[in-house]
């Protein structure tokens, strides 16, 4: 297996990112069906059958080397409350090492949104991408109509690069087979230090002083 596909468990204090597997399916089904009001533009499984198919699809793509899918496991109760992935690895000719990767296929249970889990998950993924894989660029994209997602991506410190028209499949209900305009964002290597500090500061504001359970630095291995 290529080294960039062999990602270890990424440990935070709010969330643990572990390789997606079949045993996550039931918990993901419960997480997805708790409240679907925030999933208007996102591919999120529905019901136990849908969650099982979702996991099988993502694992099939992982087997083909297309992506690295994770379950987002909430530390507080050990339950899978969403999923996210590395995908679209890009390498220069003659090199097996990627210079760029995209983070996407991300969703969280409504109950986990606004808790800091998304922020910490992105911090873990960006840290691994820049400091372990050594990429020069991390991409994010979302449906151009999804203002909530766009605000969340911009809040990570990613830079808006424009809208690509009819760039990918729409995940909006009733738009099966149609294309969507995609809002594109990126973090590049020179941005990473400032982006990391911004994420850490936001996570610290969510926590309570002196409470290690919400200290984003607690439990994180040395990165350098």
CATH topology of domain 3-214: Aminopeptidase (3.40.630)
d(CA 95, CA 101): 14
Q: How many CB atoms lie within 10 A of CB 180?
A: 22
- Give the pairing of strands 79-91 and 67-74: antiparallel
Query: Where do the structural domains in the chain lie, given as residue ranges?
Result: 3-214
Give the single-character DSSP code of 1. Answer: -
d(CA 90, CA 101): 6
Please say if the pLDDT value at position 182 is more than 90. Answer: yes
Please say if the pLDDT value at position 3 is more than 70. Answer: no
Residues 103, 86: contact at Cβ < 8 Å?
A: yes
Count Cα atoms within 13 angstroms, Cβ side, for 24: 28
pTM: 0.89
Distances in Å between the Cα of 220 and the Cα atoms of 2, 34, 193, 224 are 24, 30, 16, 12
pLDDT digits (tens, 9 = 90+) for 72-109: 999 999 999 999 999 999 999 999 899 999 999 999 99
């Amino acid at each position: 297996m290529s080294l960039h596909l062999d990602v270890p468990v990424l440990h935070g204090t709010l969330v643990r990112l572990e390789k997606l597997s079949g045993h996550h399916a039931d918990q993901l089904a419960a997480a997805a069906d708790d409240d679907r009001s925030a999933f208007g533009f996102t591919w999120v499984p529905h019901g136990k059958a849908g969650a099982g198919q979702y996991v099988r699809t993502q694992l099939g793509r992982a087997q083909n080397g297309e992506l690295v899918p994770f379950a987002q496991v909430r530390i507080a109760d050990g339950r899978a409350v969403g999923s996210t992935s590395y995908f679209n690895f890009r390498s220069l000719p003659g090199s097996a090492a990627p210079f760029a990767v995209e983070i996407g296929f991300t969703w969280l249970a409504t109950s986990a949104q606004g808790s800091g889990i998304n922020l910490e998950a992105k911090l873990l993924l960006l840290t691994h991408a820049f400091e372990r894989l050594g990429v020069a660029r991390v991409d994010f994209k979302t449906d151009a109509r999804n203002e909530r997602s766009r605000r969340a991506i911009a809040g990570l410190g990613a830079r808006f690069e424009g809208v690509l028209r009819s760039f990918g499949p729409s995940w909006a209900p009733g738009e099966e087979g149609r294309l969507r305009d995609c809002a594109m964002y990126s973090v590049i290597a020179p941005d990473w230090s400032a982006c990391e500090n911004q994420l850490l500061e936001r996570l610290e504001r969510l926590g309570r002083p002196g409470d290690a359970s919400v200290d984003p630095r607690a439990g994180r291995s040395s990165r350098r």
